[in-house]
Copies of this chain bind each other. A is one copy, B any other.
Amino acid sequence: MNGIDILVSEVGPRDGLQSISQIMPTAAKCEWISLLAAAGVREIEVGSFVPPSVLPQMADTAELVVHARTIPGLEVAVLVPNLRGAENALAAGAHKISIPLSVSETHSLKNVRRTHEQMLDEIRAIAGRVSALPEAQRPHFEVGLSTAFGCTLEGPVSEDLVVRLAAAAIEAGAAEVGLSDTTGYANPAQVRRLVKKVWDAVGREKLNGVHLHNTRGQGLANALAAMDIGITTVDASMGGVGGCPFAPGASGNIVTEDLVFLVEAMGLRTGIDFDGLLRAREYLCAALPDVEIYGFTPEAGLPRGFGEQ
């Protein structure tokens, strides 16, 4: 990947903000996205094409895509729950479209009101629309296997089912799958095992990314486990925005700042400048004064002499 080892994919504007009731103005979101990109963040999930009645915070996703597309070198990603959302994403010009396929069918029915088969139908339909576009206009189409490490409703999920759904998603036309620890249930041994199983089934190039939550404090250990075996994309949310990482049920994404420190401290390159990241963080704090912003590394500061060796 162009001069970097690990792609830190910022999902704060989507996974972070979606659980905040206070609406962040579109202009502020645009500025935050610009500051993130200025710090060197190369991929940002800017929003989700869901009905505004369901998630009012995501109502301006099309505008955010248009803004983010003006930033050179930035991969503009969005989440979509179905074909209709994907059509909106295509119309707006997103570079990357992700759709969740929940391994827990109970969760899938609650989250998107569709069974596995119905979701695979949506995936096939979206893949059809994408492939009908001229090659230069085709977005990268990814399926995020949510609850891949366990479900708050079903408990443990079958690893064989994760593998089968990964293969089915690729078969249905997705360019790639990702593994999501939606519930913060994952452990490092499971991360390594499951990534390898999915690689065996669909090929290593079809699974590059993980989406981890820090609900039980295991987020960075799980990220390390994933990167150790060769995962190159890790999602994170600036300031863990949108959910106290301590609270059950909260979003609790990995904190971008702590992940960037982890990666850079190990001598791997994210392409992200920590000072720039702190400027984006400061902006976010000011824009959302009532929202708690987390992060160990920003609170403690970088180690003395960090990066000077």
Contact = CB atoms under 8 A, between A and B. Distances in A.
A303 B150 contact: yes
Nearest to A150: B303
Contacts of A301: 248
A40 interface: no
B216 A300 contact: yes
A155 to B, nearest CB: 3
A246 B299 contact: yes
Nearest to A153: B304
A266 B217 contact: no
A304 B152 CA distance: 6
A49 to B, nearest CB: 30
A184 interface: yes
Report which residue of A150, A217, A266, A303 has the largest number of chain B beta carbons within 10 angstroms of its beta carbon: A217
A150 B204 CA distance: 37
B221 A155 contact: no
Interface string A234-248: 000000000001111
A232 interface: no
Interface stretch (A86-94, A116-124, A187-195, A282-290): A187-195
A249 to B, nearest CB: 8
Tier of interface size on chain A: 35 or more
Given A150-B304, A246-B296, A187 B217 contact: no
Nearest to A157: B305
B220 A223 contact: no
Nearest to A303: B185
Contacts of A267: 189
B300 A189 contact: no
13 contacts: A184-B300, A187-B262, A215-B296, A215-B300, A216-B303, A221-B221, A221-B223, A221-B224, A221-B262, A246-B299, A246-B300, A248-B299, A248-B300
Smallest CB-CB A-B distances: 6 pairs: A155-B305, A217-B296, A187-B265, A189-B266, A217-B258, A155-B304
Given A154-B304, A188-B266, 17 more contacts: A150-B303, A151-B304, A152-B304, A155-B304, A185-B303, A187-B265, A188-B224, A190-B266, A216-B296, A216-B297, A216-B300, A217-B258, A220-B221, A221-B221, A221-B262, A245-B296, A246-B300
